Amino acid sequence: MTDIHIVGAGAIGLSFAHALSQRHNVSVITRTLPTDKWLISEHLGTKVINAKPVVLAHTQSLSIANCFICVKAYQLPQAIADVLPYLSDHANLFISHNGMCDLSEVLDQLKPNQALFFISTARGALKLDDNHVKITGSGDTYLGACNTQAHSIIKHIFGIYFSGILSQSFIHEDMTLLRWQKLLVNIAINPLSALHQVPNGQLRQPKFSATILALLNEACTVANKAGIKVTLSQALDNAYQVMSRTSANFSSMAQDVKHGRKTEIEAICGYVVAQGQLLNVSTPYNAQMLQALINKH
Ligand code: KPL
């Protein structure tokens, strides 16, 4: 049993907190103390999540050995800056977010024995209210190593925190490919589900297929020009598989739009548009999604 700190009491943060609390001591770092206990609803019913809330500003001395940061792409730099001073010299830092973020600044700030991992998850999780999360789908979760230290311990880490804890979890050997594969799934699902306010499964309707194809075609062309070996047919297969396995879930972007929150569109379609400009690939469909969702902020 080890100590784990989780940053982000959103749907994914709380679903990880619950899974990890079966074997480890879990604390969730929050800005203010929650008013109620955190709850999770799964097919077996509703349970209290066995995790302790921690407010960093209230703690005198804290050494964090394992930290899972599950926040929005645009919150990542601040979340990392907040926990960095508390990380132990051999800390394992796990980040999980949608879209692409530049990790070079994070990597520059880590000490030689601090490991950085990326978690790509397609778990369907829905926040019912501030303290209550519902598991709505069973997508795969992948762990990838972002620095040398992480590479050297990934199998050991996977055994402690993933195997037998997070169902359908795997190690992925190619970090860059892993992040692109996740990006492609989010490009196919998030913007359309947000604009039409439909659960993921409804995107399988034929009326959406031409747009999904065009969005992924642009993104795969950009990826291929950048030297990333993805194929359009694989990207479509992955996206439709996630739609099926999380069919009842409202994507994180659909939920953000519904609640009037900022979305991650800049890190998703915005990334493809920006890379397309650099690589001379035209990306009108992604640009249109970017514009439509920026207007919702
Ligand atoms: O990552 C997701 C999200 O909602 O942001 C998927 C995998 C699409 C699950 O809904």
Tokens 């609803």, residue?
41
pLDDT at position 44 is 85
Q: Are residues 181 and 256 in the same domain?
A: yes
Q: Give the end of a domain, one of 173, 198, 214.
A: 173
pLDDT over 90 (residue 59):
no
| Percentage of the chain lying above the pLDDT 70 cut | 100
Q: Are residues 223 and 168 in the same domain?
A: no
Q: Are residues 221 and 266 in the same domain?
A: yes
Mean pLDDT of 281-293: 98
Q: Are residues 168 and 198 in the same domain?
A: no
In terms of DSSP bridges, do strands 39-42 and 45-48 run parallel, antiparallel, or are they unpaired? antiparallel
pLDDT in tens, 252-265: 999 999 999 999 99
pLDDT over 80 (residue 297):
no
Q: Are residues 69 and 54 in the same domain?
A: yes
Q: What is the SS3 assignment for 92?
A: strand
Q: Are residues 158 and 15 in the same domain?
A: yes
| Domain limits for position 266 | 177-294
Pocket of ligand 1 (CB under 6 A): 98, 122, 124, 139, 185-186, 189-190, 200, 242, 246, 249, 251-252
Write down the mean pLDDT value for the chain: 94
Q: CATH number, domain at 255?
A: 1.10.1040.10
Q: Are residues 272 and 154 in the same domain?
A: no
pLDDT in tens, 133-177: 999 888 899 999 999 999 999 999 999 999 999 889 999 999 899
Strand partners, 116: 93
Q: Give the end of a domain, one of 127, 146, 173.
A: 173
Mean pLDDT of 103-126: 92
| Percentage of the chain lying above the pLDDT 90 cut | 86
pLDDT at position 197 is 97
Strand partners, 137: 124
Contact 122, 245 (CB under 8 A): yes
Overall domain count for the chain: 2
Q: Ligand 1, from 123, 251, 259, 263: best to mutate by most atoms within 8 Å of Cβ?
A: 251
The reported pTM is 0.93
Query: Which one, of 136, 137, 101, lies nearest residue 116 by Cα?
Result: 101
pLDDT in tens, 186-214: 999 999 999 999 999 999 999 999 999 99
Q: Give the end of a domain, one of 150, 173, 196.
A: 173
